[in-house]
Amino acid sequence: MSPRHFLTLKDLSSEELKQLLSRATELKKIHLEGTLYEPLKSRVLAMIFEKSSTRTRVSFESGMAQFGGHALFLSSRDTQLGRGEPIEDSARVISSMVDAVMIRTFEHSIVETFAQYSSVPVINALTDDYHPCQLLADMQTYQEHRGSIEGKKVVWVGDGNNMCNSYINAAALLNFTLVIACPKGYEPNPTLVEENKERVTVVHSAIDAAKDADLIVTDVFASMGQEDEQEKRLKDFEGFQVNKTLMAQAHNDALFMHCLPAHRGEEVSADIMDDPDSVVWDEAENRLHAQKALLEFLLCQ
């Protein structure tokens, strides 16, 4: 039987996602109480990083240790992947020795190919197109602060990037309205928007979009791999900063999220990061708990 993978949020049903989010909150409680829970004793997660990371690495590595297992950090610089060993061969070999593989890379097709040849579950820890693990943490965080996100208005401000595409998937699975405010030329995947047009709209004014929002989310203007475009993007994204003026358009109890790392003064003003409406630190911490729920779901069925 082929293993269950997590390459986009759509690899889960709506029901599975909801259960996983509740389980993440339970696992958080178990952890904070200091109760020992080691369902993955002597199991191994291989973590392949072709891009930088702080939160993803620390959360997966700590999560595996807390579950009694082990995580292997593999960077493309030090493995044969970086010297051109085919993905298919690497997938066969690595998956024959570990229990799950987590990959952060560039083209989404790389995780798809790896998954096709892997004998164990593969987790997408960010590609150019999607960042589903972050969405688990974001949705858990919203639920913990405000209850169900169903029927709420979420406003994405900025680049139609990997995070934005994953928000579109989340809107479909959890049934919320998503308004994407981006500069012209920076729209998310048009097929994904079209497929979800009942819930998702794309506009080009952030201030108008923010009206009556329950959640405002943003991300850097230039993602990893787009460093050369930083200067151009700074100009193109004028008017797309989340600041006090923008947050004032939203509902009084609206939350602010950012997957981090953030560039204060660019996509978000410095004061918003530490504003009472901001839940960015909980969002980062929940990466640990949400991914533990994911590992348990994929490996303990």
- Report the interface residues with ligand CP, using CB under 6 A: 53-56, 126, 134, 259-260
Name which of 251, 22, 32 is nearest 147 in CA terms: 22
* Nearest approach, Cβ of residue 126 and ligand NVA (Å): 6
* Given 23, 219, 233, 241, the catalytic residue: 219
* Nearest approach, Cβ of residue 164 and ligand NVA (Å): 8
Residue 66 or 124 with smaller CB distance to ligand CP: 124
Residue 17 or 125 with smaller CB distance to ligand CP: 125
Is 4 a known active-site residue? Answer: no
Report how far Cα 198 is from the mean position of its chain's Cα atoms: 23
Binding-site residue ranges: 53-56, 80, 104, 131-134, 162, 219, 223-224, 259-260, 287
* Nearest approach, Cβ of residue 266 and ligand NVA (Å): 13
Binding-site residue ranges for carbamoyl phosphate: 53-56, 80, 104, 131-134, 259-260, 287
Residue 28 or 108 with smaller CB distance to ligand NVA: 108
Is 233 a known active-site residue? Answer: no
Q: Are 20 and 294 in contact (CB under 8 A)?
A: yes
Is 259 a known active-site residue? Answer: yes
Residue 54 or 205 with smaller CB distance to ligand CP: 54
Q: Give the residues lining the site for ligand NVA (CB under 6 A).
A: 126, 131, 161-163, 219-220, 223-224, 259
Is 104 a known active-site residue? Answer: yes
Name which of 278, 233, 283 is nearest 260 in CA terms: 283
Task: Using the structure block, give the residue that is written with the tokens 């989310």.
Answer: 217
Is 129 a known active-site residue? Answer: no
Q: Which does 223 bind (CB under 5 to 8 A by kind): ligand CP, ligand NVA, none?
A: ligand NVA
* Nearest approach, Cβ of residue 93 and ligand NVA (Å): 27
* Nearest approach, Cβ of residue 79 and ligand CP (Å): 19
Q: Looking at beta carbons, which residue is closest to ligand CP? A: 56
Q: Cα–Cα distances in Å, from 143 out to 61, 192, 210, 282?
A: 25, 24, 20, 12
Q: Which does 267 bind (CB under 5 to 8 A by kind): ligand NVA, ligand CP, none?
A: none
* Given 5, 23, 57, 104, the catalytic residue: 104
* Given 23, 108, 128, 134, the catalytic residue: 134
Q: Which does 54 bind (CB under 5 to 8 A by kind): ligand NVA, ligand CP, none?
A: ligand CP
In angstroms, the CA 70 to CA 43 distance is 6
In angstroms, the CA 114 to CA 289 distance is 25
Is 23 a known active-site residue? Answer: no
CA angle 74, 76, 78 (to 5 degrees): 70
Active-site residue list? 104, 131, 134, 219, 259, 287
